[in-house]
């Protein structure tokens, strides 16, 4: 059974159709990324899945339950990490995680969770003194303390420096390796490419493309650009058969500065939302 199943989801605000018939399937244990520009309907869709917002129409099942009819036991099976930081500035890391653990019938060991998110050395530090990346790790710790089957991550690395982002990606991969289903919304295409098993692109309230990061929008079969240098300078050819082109060029001798590139995920994404 899928962790998430959506059919024909709709939601409008004062005549504006924010979500206009979304179909979505997320398998259990999958890392699924939702991409799209601001106003595409990402936040509304995710809030409906989290039972934080009602829908106008369509069918929604999250962990086998309609969020509109969900109870506290269902909510305890979710982990939600919002874009804004948690309000626990005056608590130490250890105190915050211990406190949140008391909300669940079968929480993970707080010390184990603090170790998992890489905050063992900061366990006695107040949350208000942590760096942005460390604070985000605390948010994740609070989101997974209840052993969630499904974790929602909303723009998890916004404002991170490159090193902090890479470290955080490692944490997400660790959670996925444990079998946790993760739904990720992000504006960073390299993040989706590094973490997601599959991605969906939302634009205008609809899913305009879905697939693996490598195959999204026909990316794997798009024209490749072969570039090289010879006595006439820098040369290039666009082709669907780069191997054939290289073989023909190789008959002319050694090729300098030879590269073969296909459209990046960013190229495909920008074309899809244009």
117 within 8 A of 171, measured Cβ to Cβ? yes
Residues 210 and 233 grouped into a single domain? no
117 neighbors 140 (Cβ within 8 angstroms): yes
CA gap 11, 20 in Å, rounded = 7
Answer yes or no: do 143 and 173 share one domain.
Answer: yes
Kindly state whether residues 92 and 150 are assigned to the same domain. Answer: yes
Is there a single domain that holds both residue 189 and residue 67?
yes
Residues 148 and 177 in one domain: yes
pTM: 0.81
Residue 246 main-chain phi, psi, to 5 deg: -65, -40
Q: Are residue 50 and residue 99 in the same domain, yes or no?
A: yes
Q: 124 with 90, same domain?
A: yes
Instruction: Verify that 204 and 224 share a domain, yes or no.
Output: no
Give the Å distances, CA to CA, from 89 to 125, 135, 141, 159.
Answer: 10, 9, 15, 19
> 145, 6, 135: which is closest to 62 by C-alpha?
6
**Are 189 and 226 found together in one domain?**
no
Is the backbone of residue 196 left (phi > 0), alpha (psi -120 to 50) or beta? beta
Q: Tell me: do 244 and 266 sit in the same domain.
A: yes
Question: Residue 95 class from Cβ within 10 Å (0-12 exposed, 13-18 middle, 19+ buried)?
Answer: middle
* Same domain for 157 and 173: yes
Strands (E), the chain: 4-13, 16-26, 31-35, 57-62, 78-81, 150-154, 181-185, 198-203, 206-211, 224-230, 233-239, 256-261
Name the residue with tokens 């959670």: 175
- Domains of the chain: total: 2
Residue 128 and residue 170 in one domain: yes
Per-residue pLDDT of the chain (274 residues; tens, 9 = 90+): 799 999 999 999 988 899 999 999 999 999 999 998 888 889 899 999 999 999 999 999 999 999 999 998 899 899 998 876 556 778 999 999 999 999 988 899 999 989 888 889 999 999 888 887 788 888 888 988 999 999 999 888 877 778 878 888 888 898 899 899 999 998 888 899 999 999 999 998 999 889 898 888 777 677 788 888 887 788 888 888 888 888 888 887 777 888 888 777 887 888 888 7
Domain that holds residue 30: 4-217
Look up the CATH number of the domain holding residue 37.
3.40.50.300
């Amino acid at each position: 059974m899928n962790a998430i199943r959506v059919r024909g989801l709709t939601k409008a605000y004062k005549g504006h159709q924010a979500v206009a018939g979304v179909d979505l399937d997320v398998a259990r244990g999958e890392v699924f990324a939702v991409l799209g520009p601001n106003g595409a309907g990402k936040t509304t869709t995710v809030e409906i899945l989290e039972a934080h917002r009602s829908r106008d129409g369509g069918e929604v099942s999250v962990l086998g339950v309609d969020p509109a009819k969900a109870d506290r036991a269902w909510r305890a099976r979710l982990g939600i990490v919002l874009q804004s930081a948690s309000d626990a500035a005056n608590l130490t890391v250890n105190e915050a995680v211990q406190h949140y653990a008391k909300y669940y019938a079968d929480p993970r060991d707080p010390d184990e969770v603090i170790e998992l998110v890489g905050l063992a050395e900061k366990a006695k530090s107040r949350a208000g003194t942590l760096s942005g990346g460390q604070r985000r790790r605390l948010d994740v710790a609070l989101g997974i303390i209840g052993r969630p089957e499904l974790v929602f991550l909303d723009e998890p690395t916004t404002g991170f420096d490159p090193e902090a982002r890479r470290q955080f990606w490692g944490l997400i991969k660790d959670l996925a390796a444990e079998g946790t289903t993760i739904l990720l919304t992000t504006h960073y295409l390299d993040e989706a490419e590094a973490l997601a098993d599959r991605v969906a692109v939302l634009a205008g309230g609809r899913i305009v493309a879905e697939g693996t990061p490598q195959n999204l929008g026909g990316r794997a079969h798009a024209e490749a650009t072969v570039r090289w240098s010879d006595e006439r300078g820098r040369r290039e050819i666009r082709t669907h058969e780069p191997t054939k082109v290289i073989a023909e060029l190789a008959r002319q001798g050694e090729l300098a500065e030879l590269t073969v590139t296909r459209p990046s995920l960013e190229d495909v994404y920008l074309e899809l939302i244009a």
